[in-house]
């Protein structure tokens, strides 16, 4: 298996950054998400360099939903990133992490009045997903005596090669306003008193491993931008969303390079901007490709059972990492304390949850596994912790950040007190 540069093996132990994964598990307990800070910075720079070498006005808005740990947002804020936030919670965390309000975009297909109020109060731009949202935001901004800059999310009706649950730009998707009718939405926004349309937003889906759909997206967006420009929209930003996939199967083909992505989207955009004589910022909202490979999930073996298959029962289940159960997704598995040892059997890695579907990995060829061994699931940084739950009365696990040979908690494990923290007992009980 080819390991990325921040993962290595020394004395049969997996290492992340300059830290021994077995020592980290011992020190902080398991299950444990461990993130390499430098890898996140490197991913950010990869995008930045590829895009800004082709066009100057670039802004990277990290998709906070991929991994909303405040430390990760702080790292990205230090790099100058903004964020795609999808709730008032994500907005608040992003601001607290030091992100500038003007570098945020409040996305969402079902925002509440309270969401709109917060955006207005904090001076954050909003991506609108319906005319009802436009009307509500216009009224709320008016009441506050402010003018809010907005975009609409356009549905480009593009089929993308990914899991159907995470394709978001299909004609049938719940997101966005169809490209065919988007001009009507902007026409209404242009006559609003307290809202001014200055951008356009799109997102075609996630875990997309070819760049062609992004080229198609850019083409659809540029056709819309040209029409809207004619109608009098003064563009400050054009936001292509996120979606560049990563290589989960390390034996499989590589994910597209940042340069290939930039080559796919930029020519169409630059030629349209030049033709129209405009130079708005180009925004992208990568989530997965920024953080996924930065993080491993460490989980300890509770028991090994020979049944229909050899089941390895570990202490992380779909409460900790739901992706395999939800999308049949694949994560590479290593035995972190036996890295490099010869394969000795075929194992199915199962969690502690009371559900048959609680399987993290099927039929993997691994070194001989014993009770107490440490399993590492790779590429767990995106939609891992952020989708974790307290199902079966299990608190969410800790998250650790590694920088070189330093490590520190960036979130402690939840306890039973945390499980009970929001509980209220009705007075008659």
Ligand X SMILES: Cc1ncc(COP(=O)(O)O)c(C=O)c1O
Ligand Y SMILES: N[C@@H](CCCC[NH3+])C(=O)O
Q: Residue 209 or residue 369: which is nearer to ligand Y going by CB?
A: 209
Q: Residue 107 or residue 320: which is nearer to ligand X going by CB?
A: 107
Please work out, in degrees rounded to the nearest 5, the angle formed at the alpha carbon of residue 241 by the alpha carbons of 248 and 109.
110
* Residue whose Cβ sits closest to ligand Y: 383
> Is 327 an interacting residue with respect to ligand Y (CB under 6 A)?
yes
Measured in degrees and rounded to the nearest 5, phi and psi for residue 177 equal -110, 130
> Is 84 an interacting residue with respect to ligand X (CB under 6 A)?
yes
Residue 156 interaction partner, one of ligand Y, ligand X, none, beta carbon < 5-8 Å per kind: none
> Is 201 an interacting residue with respect to ligand Y (CB under 6 A)?
no
Q: Classify residue 302 as exposed, middle or buried by CB count within 10 Å of its CB (0-12, 13-18, 19+).
A: middle
Binder to ligand X among 39, 203, 331, 338 (CB under 6 A)? 203
Q: Are 238 and 265 in contact (CB under 8 A)?
A: no
Residue 241 interaction partner, one of ligand X, ligand Y, none, beta carbon < 5-8 Å per kind: ligand X
Q: Are 379 and 321 in contact (CB under 8 A)?
A: no
- Whole-angstrom distance, CA of residue 348 vs CA of residue 312: 6
Q: For residue 116, what are the contacts with CB-CB under 8 A and spacing of at least 6?
A: 126, 133, 136, 137, 140
- Whole-angstrom distance, CA of residue 27 vs CA of residue 24: 5
> Is 206 an interacting residue with respect to ligand Y (CB under 6 A)?
yes
Q: Are 158 and 210 in contact (CB under 8 A)?
A: no
Binder to ligand X among 82, 199, 242, 256 (CB under 6 A)? 242
Has 397 been annotated as catalytic?
Answer: no
Q: Residue 107 or residue 299: which is nearer to ligand X going by CB?
A: 107
Tell me, by CB under 6 A, how many residues bind ligand Y. Answer: 9
Q: Are 340 and 303 in contact (CB under 8 A)?
A: no
> Is 207 an interacting residue with respect to ligand Y (CB under 6 A)?
yes
Q: Residue holding tokens 């509500």?
A: 136
Q: Residue 84 or residue 217: which is nearer to ligand X going by CB?
A: 84
Q: Are 98 and 75 in contact (CB under 8 A)?
A: no
Q: How far is the CB of 350 from ligand X (least distance, A)?
A: 27
Strands 333-335 and 406-411: what pairing? unpaired
Measured in degrees and rounded to the nearest 5, phi and psi for residue 98 equal 105, 10
> Is 206 an interacting residue with respect to ligand X (CB under 6 A)?
yes
> Is 323 an interacting residue with respect to ligand Y (CB under 6 A)?
yes
Is 355 annotated as a binding-site member?
A: yes
Q: Residue 25 or residue 361: which is nearer to ligand Y going by CB?
A: 361
Is 288 annotated as a binding-site member?
A: yes
Ranges within 132-191 binding ligand Y (CB under 6 A)? 166, 168
- Whole-angstrom distance, CA of residue 17 vs CA of residue 6: 5
> Is 9 an interacting residue with respect to ligand Y (CB under 6 A)?
no
- DSSP assignment of 214-251, as one string? HHHHHHHHHHHHHHHHHHT---SEEE----B----STT
Q: Residue 351 or residue 367: which is nearer to ligand Y going by CB?
A: 351
Cα distances from 178 to residues 36, 181, 202, 239, 353, in angstroms, run 40, 6, 11, 16, 41
Site map 274..313 versus ligand X, x via CB under 6 A? -----------xxxxx------------------------
Is 383 annotated as a binding-site member?
A: yes
Q: How far is the CB of 65 from ligand Y (least distance, A)?
A: 6
- DSSP assignment of 122-155, as one string? HT-EEEE-SHHHHHHHHHHHHHHT--EEEEEEEE
Q: How far is the CB of 123 from ligand Y (least distance, A)?
A: 25
Q: Which residues bind ligand Y (CB under 6 A)?
A: 65, 166, 168, 206-207, 323, 327, 383, 387
Q: Which residues are annotated as a binding site for substrate?
A: 288, 323, 327, 355, 383
Residues of each annotated binding site for pyridoxal 5'-phosphate: 243, 285-288, 383
Q: Which residues are catalytically annotated?
A: 354
Site residues (vs ligand X, CB under 6 A): 63, 66, 84, 107, 168, 203, 206, 241-243, 285-289, 382
Give the residue numbers of the binding site. Answer: 243, 285-288, 323, 327, 355, 383
């Amino acid at each position: 298996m080819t390991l990325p540069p921040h993962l290595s093996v020394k004395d049969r132990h997996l290492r992340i950054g300059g830290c021994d994964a077995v020592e980290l598990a011992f020190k902080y307990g398991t299950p444990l998400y461990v993130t390499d800070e430098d890898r996140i910075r490197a991913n950010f720079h990869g995008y930045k360099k590829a895009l800004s070498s082709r066009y100057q006005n670039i802004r990277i808005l990290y998709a906070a939903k991929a991994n909303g740990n405040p430390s990760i947002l702080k790292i990205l804020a230090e790099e100058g990133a903004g964020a795609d936030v999808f709730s008032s919670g994500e907005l608040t965390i992003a601001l607290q992490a030091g992100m500038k309000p003007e570098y945020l975009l409040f996305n969402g297909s079902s925002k509440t009045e309270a969401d709109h109020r917060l955006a207005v109060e904090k001076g954050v731009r909003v991506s609108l997903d319906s005319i009802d949202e436009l009307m509500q935001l216009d009224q709320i901004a008016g009441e506050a005596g402010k003018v809010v800059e907005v975009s609409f999310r356009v549905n480009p009706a593009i089929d993308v090669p990914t899991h159907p649950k995470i394709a978001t730009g299909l004609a049938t998707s719940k997101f966005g306003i169809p490209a065919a009718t988007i001009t009507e939405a902007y026409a209404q926004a242009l006559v609003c008193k307290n809202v001014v349309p200055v951008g356009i937003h799109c997102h075609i889906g996630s875990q997309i491993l070819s760049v062609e759909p992004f080229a198609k997206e850019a083409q659809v967006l540029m056709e819309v931008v040209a029409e809207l420009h004619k109608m009098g929209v003064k563009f400050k930003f054009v936001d292509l969303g996120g979606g560049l996939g990563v290589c989960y199967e390390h034996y499989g083909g590589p994910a597209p390079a940042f340069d290939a992505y930039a080559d796919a989207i930029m020519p169409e955009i630059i030629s349209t901007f030049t033709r129209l004589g405009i130079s708005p910022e180009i925004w992208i909202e990568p989530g997965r490709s920024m953080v996924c490979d930065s993080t491993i999930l460490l989980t300890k073996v509770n028991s090994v059972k020979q049944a229909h298959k050899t089941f390895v029962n570990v202490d992380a289940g779909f409460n900790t990492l739901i992706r395999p159960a939800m999308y049949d997704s694949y994560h590479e598995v290593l035995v972190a304390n036996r890295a490099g040892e010869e394969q000795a059997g075929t194992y199915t890695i199962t969690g502690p949850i009371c559900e048959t579907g609680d399987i993290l990995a099927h039929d993997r060829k691994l070194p001989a596994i014993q009770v107490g061994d440490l399993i590492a699931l790779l590429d767990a940084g995106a939609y891992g912790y952020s989708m974790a739950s307290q199902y079966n009365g299990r608190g969410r696990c800790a998250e650790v950040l590694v920088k070189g040979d330093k490590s520190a908690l960036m979130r402690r494990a939840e306890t039973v007190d945390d499980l009970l923290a929001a509980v209220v007992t009705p007075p008659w009980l």
